[in-house]
Amino acid sequence: DIQMTQSPSSLSASVGDRVTITCRASQDISNYLAWYQQKPGKVPNLLIYAASTLQSGVPSRFSGSGSGTDFTLTISSLQPEDVATYYCQKYNSAPRTFGQGTKVEIK
Amino acid sequence: EVQLVESGGGLVQPGGSLRLSCAASGFTFSIYNMNWVRQAPGKGLEWVSYISSSGATTYYADSVKGRFTISRDNAKKSLYLQIHSLRADDTAVYFCARDLVVRGMAGFDYWGQGILVTVSS
């Protein structure tokens, strides 16, 4: 099975900072990648699909890039409401594995 | 408004069984693929199972294969997860989640609020 590895596991950044989270697939998944945000105590929220397509209603400071095995989620200007854990997920085939998550905090 | 509401969770003894349900409303349930995802306390998300819109195709995570069965009733707009031989490491909040794309896959755009399953003696 294809493994999804996120880095870093956690990060702390200041409001306004540019934040980058990386997700690596153990095999080529083309662009079949989604990103989710899960705030504490809340249900996950789809941010991006097809590696770079912003889901409706998601702020434009979020963006995704990559293809094949290496992907990136970028928050262009970190806001206090972005404190959350972020997950990548492959969906080219089953199992639709999630990454282990990246916890983002405000410094 | 799209809504997914899970039910059927609770405290179960190891080796026991449980049937989770997910009632859908606010969209044409029969044309969307559906999934179950779980999250153990303090842990990350784990995809559990998938069922196609017609119910003809199902997939499972290796960790649940042979013990969990996903099904759906499109007439009742409901998704199910039958769980057998429960183990302590099945303890988690279980979410039902809808695939974004009609009859396709592109991430999960709607999630239920989750239902807690606790396996303990």
pLDDT tens, position by position, A14-57 = 999 999 999 999 999 999 999 999 999 999 999 999 999 999 99
State chain B's mean pLDDT as an integer: 96
Q: Nearest 5°: phi and psi at A72?
A: -140, 135
pLDDT of residue B83: 97
Residue B103 clears pLDDT 80, i.e. is over it: no
In chain B, what's the furthest Cα-to-Cα distance? 42
Mean pLDDT of B104-111: 91
Average pLDDT of span B31-59: 97
CA B58 vs. chain centroid, Å, equals 12
CB distance from B36 to chain A under 8 Å? Answer: no
Measured in angstroms, the CA of B84 and the nearest CA of chain A are apart by 20
Q: What is the pLDDT of residue B102?
A: 80
Q: Which of A27-36, B18-27, B102-111 has the lowest mean pLDDT?
A: B102-111
For residue A72, pLDDT beyond 90? yes
Query: Do B34 and B97 form a contact (C-beta atoms < 8 A)?
Result: yes
pLDDT band of residue B105 (cuts 50, 70, 90) is confident
Shortest CA distance from B115: residue in chain A: A43
The whole-number average pLDDT for the span B74-97 is 98
Q: Do B108 and A38 touch (CB under 8 A)?
A: no
User: pLDDT category, B39, cuts 50, 70, 90?
Assistant: very high
Give strand ranges (E) for B1-121.
3-7, 10-12, 18-25, 34-39, 45-51, 58-60, 68-73, 78-83, 92-99, 108-111, 115-119
Q: Which of A70, A41, A83, A75 is nearest to A58 (CA)?
A: A75
Compute and round to an integer the Cα radius of gyration of chain A: 13
Closest residue in B to A102 (Cα) is B44
> B114 to chain A, minimum CA–CA distance in Å?
8
Is B89 in the A-facing interface, judged by CB distances under 8 Å? no
